[in-house]
Structures are given as C-alpha cells and as structure tokens.
Amino acid sequence: MSEYREFTENEMMICMAARLMEDNKNYFIGFGMPQLAALIAQRLYSPNLIIVYEYGVIGPQIALPYERLMMADSKSNYRAVAWQNMNWAFFQAANGLIDYGVLGVNEIDQYGNINTTYIGGSYERPELRLSGSGGACEIGTHCWRTITVMMHEKRRMLEKLSFITTPGYLDGTPRARERAGLPPETGPYRVVTSKALFGFDEESHRMQLLEVLPGATAEEVLASMQFRPLLAPNLAQAEPPTEGELRLLREEIDPERVVIGRGKAIKI
C-alpha cells in the first residue's frame, strides 16, 4: 500500500461491493454503482461471475468505458449469452436460479426493507416521488441474497419507511417473509454505505454493523442513522480501495468520472 491515497465515497462503495461478489454465481445487477462493482469483480476477483439484467440479458461482457445511462444498449449487452425478456428473467429468479441481487436504494430500515417509491405525504400525493421499483421488488423477493449500495445519511436510514418498495425481513419477527408468501430462505445479505458495511443478525434479522469504512468512525456511523443497529463482536476497519482497483475504475471503467466522481473525497 502506498503512504497516501485519495478516493471518493462512490469509489469506496463500488470496491467494497465488488469484494462481496462470489465467483461462479449469478447476479441480478441494478443500474449505476452495482454495474461498476460487477465489472471490478469480474476483472479482479470473480472472473466467472455472471451478470443478469432484469430486461432479460444473460452473461454480457460489458464493453468499456462505462457511459451515462448505459443500460439496455449494445455496449452493456456486448457478447451476451442470451437476450430474452423481463418475464423470462424474473421467472428464472423465482425458480431459484439467480443467486444475488445488487441494488442501489434511497431509504432502508433496520430490517432491510427498501423504499424507492416516494417520501412523505401519501402514495397519491407524495412530497417527493422517487424512481419507483423497476425490478427491485422482484429482485429482493426472489434472489437468494440481496446486496444494497447507498449513501450513508440519517435521512436515508430510517426507523420507519414511508413505503416498502422491496421487502426485507418486514417486521423482523420469525417467519415474517414466509407469512407474506416470500421464500423464507431468501432476504437481505449486506448493505454497503459510504460509511460502513452491514449484515443482518440471523435470529432477530436486525441490521448489524460489521465494518467501518476508511474516513469514518463507528460514532459517526451510528450518529448518521435513525435506528441503532447491532454491533459485531469484532468490529473491523474496512480496507481502502487498492491501487489496482482505482486504476481499473479510473482508467478503463469510468474515465469520465460519471459515477466514481460523486461523493465526498476521502484521504488516507
């Protein structure tokens, strides 16, 4: 490691998410940071990772560099194994053939429920209308595990959501997902934020702080949440982006800084 390194919050989150991705697994990939995380993982850690897009594309070798709004075009679908349709893709997930879903989210609660629909007011008259579900509900419902990537802000990590777009562990009670008609073995796995890495306790299903990201402290993490997560017995400090990860992101994947240029700069 060099003595000095500077990176953005988005770069840190992308690299953290990439390190979570296992080889020889299928991943439903959302737009933006999840795409870049999958590219890092494929090239550095998990060469046999298979990308699945909700509109039916299976196993593309995404052509670089990444471009703004790069989804459902020839570059993001380059050399795909198959291109079916949305119903077919979600049918495969419902059959248990998609291992992970990776989503960018607006709001989350302590049980991993996600809101990307609206904030404040009512569904008919919201204070702020968000992007909506897209395929996020189906991905969080049917994939075996779900990884979410989001900015760490108090207004985003809430005790109670305005709306549940994508179910997590619902109210956290035993068999809550099963009572709602969801596969009981599925559910939230990891939450990557700009300050921390979280998992979920197997018994209570509450969010659990596992690692603090570079540039943040445990106190800052907890102060920027409207609920208090469980704490891992051995709370760790996450490794910063490596020189190899940053070179790949900045020179090959996103040289125009479309995604990686966002977020606060962190110096270590």
> Looking at residues 185-195, what average pLDDT do you find?
96
For 92, counting Cβ atoms within 10 Å of its Cβ (0-12 exposed, 13-18 middle, 19+ buried), the class is middle
What does DSSP say about strands 100-104 and 145-150: parallel, antiparallel, or unpaired?
Answer: parallel
> Looking at residues 102-111, what average pLDDT do you find?
94
N- to C-terminal Cα separation, the chain: 11
Between these two residues, 31 and 241, which has the higher pLDDT value?
241
The answer on pLDDT for 230 being more than 60 is yes
Between vectors from CA 52 to CA 95 and to CA 16, what angle results, nearest 5°? 110
> Looking at residues 188-196, what average pLDDT do you find?
97
**For residue 157, is it within any domain?**
yes
The answer on pLDDT for 1 being more than 70 is no
- Of 214, 203, 211, 202, the C-alpha closest to 234 is 211
Can you give the pLDDT at residue 215?
A: 84
Between these two residues, 196 and 264, which has the higher pLDDT value?
196
66 falls in which pLDDT band (50, 70, 90)?
A: confident
Can you give the pLDDT at residue 165?
A: 95
Host domain of residue 241:
6-267
- Of 120, 107, 104, the C-alpha closest to 159 is 107
Can you give the pLDDT at residue 143?
A: 95
Each residue of 14-30: pLDDT tens digit? 999 999 999 999 999 98
**For residue 146, is it within any domain?**
yes
The answer on pLDDT for 260 being more than 60 is yes
- Provide the domain count of the chain: 1
Can you give the pLDDT at residue 3?
A: 53
Can you give the pLDDT at residue 2?
A: 46
Domain holding 124: CATH number? 3.40.1080.10
Q: How far apart are CA 157 and CA 174, in angstroms?
A: 23
Q: With pLDDT > 90 as the criterion, what percentage of the chain qualifies?
A: 79
Does residue 240 contact residue 214 with C-beta atoms inside 8 Å? yes
> Looking at residues 196-214, what average pLDDT do you find?
96
> Which of 6, 9, 22, 54 does the annotation list as catalytic?
54
**For residue 158, is it within any domain?**
yes
Q: How far apart are CA 260 and CA 268, in angstroms?
A: 17
Can you give the pLDDT at residue 71?
A: 72
Mean pLDDT for the chain?
Answer: 92
Residue 54 is a catalytic residue:
yes
Question: Would you give the DSSP letter of residue 44?
Answer: H
**For residue 1, is it within any domain?**
no
Q: How far apart are CA 208 and CA 110, in angstroms?
A: 9
The answer on pLDDT for 267 being more than 70 is yes
| Type of residue at 122 | S
Which H/E stretch holds residue 141?
helix 136-142
Question: Tokens standing for 181?
Answer: 């008609």
Q: With pLDDT > 70 as the criterion, what percentage of the chain qualifies?
A: 97
Please state the pTM of the whole predicted model. 0.93
The answer on pLDDT for 91 being more than 60 is yes
- Determine phi and psi for 81, rounding to 5 degrees: -70, -40
> Looking at residues 89-115, what average pLDDT do you find?
94
Each residue of 129-148: pLDDT tens digit? 988 888 899 999 999 999 99
